[in-house]
Each structure stands twice: as C-alpha cells, then as structure tokens.
DNA sequence: ATGAAAGCGCTAACAA
DNA sequence: TTGTTAGCGCTTTCAT
C-alpha cells in the first residue's frame, strides 16, 4: 500500500528546499526563481502531492465551503436553486453543503453547527420567511436569502419579482377576455403569496375590475390544496371563468377538480400556474404557466455571497428576477366574451 | 463588536484549568472530576464557546463530511437519494456535500478535489455506470454506489432490485390479460435498463410468451423519448395492448403519443411506469407505476458508508430494495381478453 | 530569493 | 484527576 500521502514537507525535502518555498509555489506567489519553481512543480507532479484543504482552512481561517439551507432537497424549485448555487460556487473554488431543515428549530440547530463550529464561510438560505426560520439566521455572518427578505438593511436577497409575475399571469387571463377571475394563493403568511396576490389585484384594478374576496382561496402549494380550493369555490356557488393558481401544483389540483365537476379546461375554465415545473407540458392539458429560472437565482445567490466574502464592505442588494409567460393549452379566450359588453 | 470567538484556551484560562481538561469535557471523556466538569460546562455556556470543527478535523485527520456525486441535483430520483443520505449523515454527526458532475471528466476533477484534497471522508456516487464515470472513482477510498455496481469485490452498493421491479410491473400487465406487450427501455448501456429488460423477459417467458424484439424500443429516460418510441412502434405497424415503460417520464411520453394517435389510455392501451414520481397521480390518466423509495436508498447508502468508515474491515455488501405496485388508472384489463382463449 | 519560527485550535500521548 | 508537550499540514511574518 502506498505509505501515507506526501505533505508539503516531503516535497520540500525531495527538492532540497524549505517547505515554505513549496508553499509559495503551490500558491503561485512571487519570490521564487523560475527555475526553482519548475523543478518543484515537477516533483509535486511526480510525487502526486495535493495540498490538504483542511490544513489550509486551518491556517487561513476560512473553509472555502458554503452551505445552502432549504426546507427540503427534493422540491424541484429548491433543487434548482441548489444546483445553480453549487455550479457557481464550484466554478469559483468553493464547495456547497446542502441541508434540509424542516422546522425553525431544525434550522436553529443546523445554523449552530454550520456557523458556530465554523464549518462554512457563508450561507444561502431558501425561503427563510416561509415560517419563523429567519429568526435563527445570524445577521453578523455572510448570508444571502433566496425568496423575500424583510431585513433589507443587513441581508442580501435574490428572489423572483413575485408581484410582477402575478401581474403578468393575470394580464394573460384578462387579455383572453376573462372577467371573473379566481385565485388560489399559497399560505398567506409567506411574503411570496402576499406579493403574488398584490400583482393579481393590481392587474384587476387596472382592468377596472374589483377583486371579489369570495373568489380568492388560500392553499398550501400542494396539488390537493388546489383541488380543495376549487371545490370550495364551487360549493360557495362561484363560477369563475379563469383561475390564477400561484404555483403549478395547485393549478394541477384545480384542473383535476374542475374535470371532476364536469368542467372542461380550457373550454369552460382557463387555468394558469407559476413555475413551469418539469413535465408541465405533458400534463393534460399542457399547462400555461409563468416560467422561472430558479437555477439562475441560485447562481446569483452564490455569486452575491462570494462577493460579500471577498469584500465585506460589499453594498447589499436585493435582486429580483422576471419570469416568462409560457402559453400552452390550459388557457383560451373567453367564448363570446368581450364583444357583447 | 464581539472580539474574536473564544477558543478552548480562553475557556481553560477562565476556568483555571489546562486546555486539555476542557478538551476532555467537550469530548465527554473520562477522567474529569464531576465537579470540575460542571464548572467548565457552565463557563462554556457562559462564554458561548463552540469547538472549531476545522481544528478538530485537523488533528483527528477526518472531516466528518461526506460527499454525494450525482449527474444532477434536480432529478427527483437523485434529489431523493441525496435527501435521504443527508438526513442519515446529519443524524450521525456528518455533513453531506452534494455536487453534480455531468460528464466523466467532471467526475474525475470533482473526485480529485474532494478526495485528493482530503475534503471528505467518504463518497456516495449515484449512477456511476450511466457512463464511464465509475472509472474515476478510487477503490481505495470509502465509497458506496447507488445503482448497479460491477466492481462487486471492492465497492458497496445500494440499488433497486431492477430485475424484480420490471418482473412485477410486467406481471401486472399480464394478469390484466394483455398478451402483446411492448417495452420502452432506458439507454441499454446502463445496467439498470438491462436488468429491467431481463425482468420483463422473464415474466413473459413464464407466461409462455416470447418477447418480440420489434416491440422493444430504446429510450433515454426522457418523456419525449417515450413519445418517439411509441410513434416508432406505430410506424412499424405494431399495435401493442400494453406498454411497460422503464420509467414514469417515458410512460408519460407513451401516453401522449397514444392519445395523439387516437388511442385511449387505458381503454385501448395500458401503460405502466417505474418511479412513482411526484404528481404521478395527477397525470391524465393517473399513472399506474412501481413506487420506489429512493430516500430510503440514500439513507442506506449513507448508513453503509458510515459503517465502513468506523470499521474498515466492514464486509462489503450489495443491498437491493423492492418497489411496490401502485395501481391507478393507466392500466385496465384487456377487453374480452383471456376468456376467449 | 529563500529559510526559520510561530501559530491556526484542537487532540493524543505521556507525565505528574 | 490533571497538566505538559507534541504534533496535524499548512500560511504568515520576519529574518537572512
């Protein structure tokens, strides 16, 4: 078996120089004769020496590791953010440690280990305001939030322009001639749901329509909550011409409920979602939705975090990304709508 | 601003003991007077001392970090494995670093950094045989494969019992009275596709049927490849009564193609998939499929890896998990099938 | 241009 | 039971 891995000292001995000179070489620093440098490089290659990252972290006081905390790792939206952040981090020589923290308490413990034990240099936190988890995020540590951020004075954030996204989705419905619009929201304690609701209302107001509170139902992002929401609407005697679901899963639920109630989508009901989740185009009918590039959000989050690490005086910023309307087949123009009015 | 974080020495000084005694306390080791112990603990709490994980790694020679390498982080299957592994790892005091490596070369570089620089203690590699990536996985380092493993002599693996899963899916179709069965496979260079094909053939053979090669088409796991596959079948003049798609996405594609060809599912064609992906029950029709618990696979992979780390003489094993048939509405019995024969 | 010494914060081995 | 002495493998500072 290969004896223990070579260290900087082994290389130094072999080259007949001090370990310090070797250190200078591996760090590409000035002050080494070109000749010495190449000789040492050859020996490094020959011995298969690779610097120990832990030892490096030890003396430099930084780990070159970032962590991403998400409610879970499987949700496509979160996974995309993580993937984007991981790519960006690695490209810049950092690793990304991703962890799921289901509850605020789990978040607290996770942060305690990650930050308290100095395992990472910075944190990307996804959806910190979905519950009380943001409380446990220290603000004297490099952090970037993905999703809305209330602590705008001290923490960076990257998010979708939720108000605008909802506005555009609603406009699409309006332009199709629908006048009786329903909305299924996410949990209203989340800023995201609030902002999307605002966008919906703004579009309605601009079209001279008043939002009917009876046509707004709160869901929890799940498909079944969308289904329940639409049934609830029906039970209340409502009969919307179109529904804006604040995410695709709930849109799926709405479509299923509509079908079960004997309604055809889009002939009798237009439905639009947000996310453009995988296979949205394979649903029946293919879902019209707002496409968002969460990977890009993750990438930007990591980029921001790394800038902050390199320059602590980095001015904080709050980046908002747009989304694109993807028209498929779950929406169509209101039959005989506008022209009679 | 808080001056620099307290170290073991600060605590020692404050307590009037040596740093070693403090070390004994934080590591819950014998040989410290109960009294001294409680006093030190109080001081630790008071000063808010938390041991530096890096320094610990430095002297112990281990990082308490595992890495998981996957083709990507967003595929639901991979993400589930990662989530399962992360949960298990964290429960046992380890962190999980997840990275995507798209190509074999990317895998090589990633492994070089992760293993070469001693950043992690062990590796979980997902689908190493999907391409040549397994070549770059060292076998003198603690590794567990998720998915098939050919190097059975040196590397642990955790996988689905692909042969059995396919056998059961096919049996379901057979029991429904279908006699003309088609199959859409994953890329045949992957062991997984091979094994699932074997299971399909075994079920057919047992039923006294000979697999018709013209009814077997290779896909690439994507929905569109499933769609193409079914169109291909149709163009070849084939008219299967049922299709076994080796994953749900391709099953979706098959269903769409069938519908476009004027066939109704399941009335004219039964379709079964594998995975039970999210929203499989919200597809139209709700998909009959083999449910697999990938999170459990990930958990087991981490468990195995950690056992190996703690006991290097750990006997290697190859764990295979079953899957459960979930009957929904994309399959139904062959009309007038069996009883006439 | 190079080397020697000190130290990052901890654990391990040995002494007292 | 407790303290002392050495490292772990590297970087930084200061000499030479």
- CA of A168 vs chain B CAs: smallest distance (Å): 26
Is pLDDT of A340 > 70? no
Task: Output DSSP code: residue A133.
Answer: G
pLDDT at B328: 98
pLDDT at A89: 97
The CA distances from residue A318 to A150, B16, B42, in Å, are 11, 48, 41
Strand D and A37 CB separated by under 7 Å: no
pLDDT tens digits for chain B (341 residues)?
Answer: 346 789 999 999 999 999 999 999 999 998 888 899 999 999 999 999 999 999 999 999 999 999 999 999 999 999 999 999 999 999 999 999 999 999 999 999 999 999 999 999 999 999 887 777 888 888 889 999 999 777 777 788 999 999 999 999 999 999 999 999 999 999 999 999 999 999 999 999 999 999 899 999 999 999 999 999 999 999 999 999 999 999 999 999 999 999 999 999 999 999 999 999 999 999 999 999 999 999 999 999 999 999 999 887 777 789 999 999 999 999 999 886 443 33
- CA of A208 vs chain B CAs: smallest distance (Å): 36
The crossing angle, in degrees rounded to 10, of helices A294-310 and A76-91 is: 40
Å between CA of A62 and C1' of C2: 27
Nearest nucleotide to the CA of A18, by C1', is C3
A207-216, A270-279, B124-133: which range is least confident on average? Answer: B124-133
Based on DSSP, count helices (H) and strands (E) in chain B, helices before strands: 11, 12
Q: Kindly report the average pLDDT of chain A as a whole number.
A: 92
pLDDT at A136: 87
Q: How confident is the model at residue A312 (pLDDT cuts 50, 70, 90)?
A: confident
pLDDT at A75: 95
Q: How confident is the model at residue A145 (pLDDT cuts 50, 70, 90)?
A: very high
- CA of A52 vs chain B CAs: smallest distance (Å): 5
**Does A73 sit within 8 Å of B83, measured CB to CB?**
yes
> How does pLDDT run across A164-177, given as a tens digit for each residue?
999 999 999 999 99
Interstrand relation of A318-321 and B65-70 (parallel, antiparallel or unpaired):
unpaired
Nearest nucleotide to the CA of B117, by C1', is D9
Chain A: residue nearest B256 by CA? A282
- Which residues in B lie closer than 8 A to residue A52 (C-beta atoms)? 117-118
Return the nearest residue to C6, CA–C1': A59
pLDDT at B316: 77
> What φ, ψ does residue A95 adopt, rounded to 5°?
-110, 160
> What φ, ψ does residue B312 adopt, rounded to 5°?
-60, -20
The secondary structure of A235-289 as a DSSP string is: HTT---SEEEESSHHHHHHHHHHHHHTT--TTTT-EEEEEE--TTGGGSSSPPEE
Per the structure, the residues numbered 34 to 73 in protein chain B that have their CB within 7 angstroms of any atom of strand D are: 35-37, 58-59, 61
Instruction: List the single residue in A55, A253, A295 with the smallest CB-CB distance to B58.
Output: A55
Give the SS3 label for residue B4. coil
Best of A98, A110, A118 to mutate (most B CBs within 10 Å, chain B): A98
- Which residues in A lie closer than 8 A to residue B283 (C-beta atoms)? 282-284
Facing residues of B292 across strands?
Answer: none
In the stretch 245-274 of chain B, residues with CB closer than 8 A to chain A read: 249, 252-253, 256
Token pair, residue A310, equals 């390199």
> How does pLDDT run across A241-255, given as a tens digit for each residue?
999 999 999 999 999
CA A102 to CA A133: how far, in whole Å?
9
**Does B112 sit within 8 Å of A50, measured CB to CB?**
yes
**Helix locations, B92-237, DSSP H:** 104-111, 162-175, 191-206, 223-235
Å between CA of B60 and C1' of C12: 9
- Which residues in A lie closer than 8 A to residue B1 (C-beta atoms)? 140
Chain C nucleotides covered by protein, CB below 7 Å: 1-5, 7-13
CA A74 to CA B83: how far, in whole Å?
7
- Which residues in A lie closer than 8 A to residue B96 (C-beta atoms)? 97-99
pLDDT at B3: 60
Q: Judge residue B93's burial from the number of C-beta atoms within 10 Å of its C-beta, 0-12 exposed, 13-18 middle, 19 or more buried.
A: exposed
Return the nearest residue to C2, CA–C1': A21
> How does pLDDT run across A87-142, given as a tens digit for each residue?
999 999 999 999 999 999 999 999 999 999 999 999 999 988 777 788 888 888 99
CA A153 to CA A140: how far, in whole Å?
12
Is pLDDT of A157 > 60? yes
**Does A95 sit within 8 Å of B74, measured CB to CB?**
no
Token pair, residue A128, equals 């910190």
CA B57 to CA B43: how far, in whole Å?
24
Q: If we measure between CA atoms, which residue out of B258, B257, B277, B275 comes closest to residue B267? A: B258
Beta carbons of B248 and B277 less than 8 angstroms apart = yes
Beta carbons of A59 and B59 less than 8 angstroms apart = no
pLDDT at A148: 79
Instruction: List the single residue in A99, A252, A279 with the smallest CB-CB distance to B86.
Output: A99
pLDDT at A110: 94
In the stretch 13-52 of chain B, residues with CB closer than 8 A to chain A read: 50-52
Question: What's CA B217's distance to the chain center, in Å?
Answer: 25
pLDDT at A3: 60
Beta carbons of B124 and B67 less than 8 angstroms apart = yes
């Amino acid at each position: 078996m290969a004896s223990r891995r070579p260290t900087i000292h082994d290389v130094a001995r072999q080259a007949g120089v001090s370990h310090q000179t070797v250190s200078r070489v591996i760090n590409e620093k000035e002050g080494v004769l070109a000749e010495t440098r190449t000789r040492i490089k050859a020996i490094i290659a020959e011995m298969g020496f690779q610097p120990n990252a832990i030892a490096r972290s030890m003396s430099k006081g930084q780990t070159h590791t970032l962590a991403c905390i998400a409610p879970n790792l499987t949700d496509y939206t979160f996974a995309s953010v993580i993937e984007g952040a991981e790519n960006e981090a690695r490209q810049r020589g950092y690793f990304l440690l991703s962890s799921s923290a289901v509850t605020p308490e789990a978040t607290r413990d996770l942060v305690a280990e990650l930050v308290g034990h100095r395992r990472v240099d910075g944190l990307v936190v996804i959806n910190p305001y979905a519950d009380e988890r943001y409380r446990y995020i220290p603000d004297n540590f490099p952090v970037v939030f993905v999703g809305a951020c209330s602590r705008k004075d001290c923490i960076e954030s990257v998010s979708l322009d939720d108000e605008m996204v909802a506005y555009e989705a609603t406009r699409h419905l309006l332009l199709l001639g629908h006048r009786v619009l329903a909305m299924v929201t996410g949990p209203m304690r989340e800023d995201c749901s609030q902002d999307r609701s605002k966008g919906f209302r703004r579009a309605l107001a601009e079209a001279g329509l008043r939002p009917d509170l009876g046509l707004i139902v709160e869901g929890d992002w799940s498909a079944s909550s969308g289904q329940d929401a639409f049934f609830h609407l029906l039970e209340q005697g409502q009969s919307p011409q179109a529904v804006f679901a604040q995410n695709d899963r709930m849109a799926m639920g709405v479509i299923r409920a509509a079908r079960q109630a004997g309604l055809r989508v889009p002939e009798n009901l237009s439905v639009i979602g947000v996310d453009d989740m995988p296979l949205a185009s394979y649903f029946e009918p293919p879902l019209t939705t707002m496409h968002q590039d969460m990977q890009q959000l993750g990438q930007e989050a990591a980029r921001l975090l790394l800038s902050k690490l390199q320059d602590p005086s980095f001015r904080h910023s709050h980046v908002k990304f747009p989304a694109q309307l993807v028209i498929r087949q779950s929406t169509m123009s209101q039959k005989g709508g506008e022209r009679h009015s």
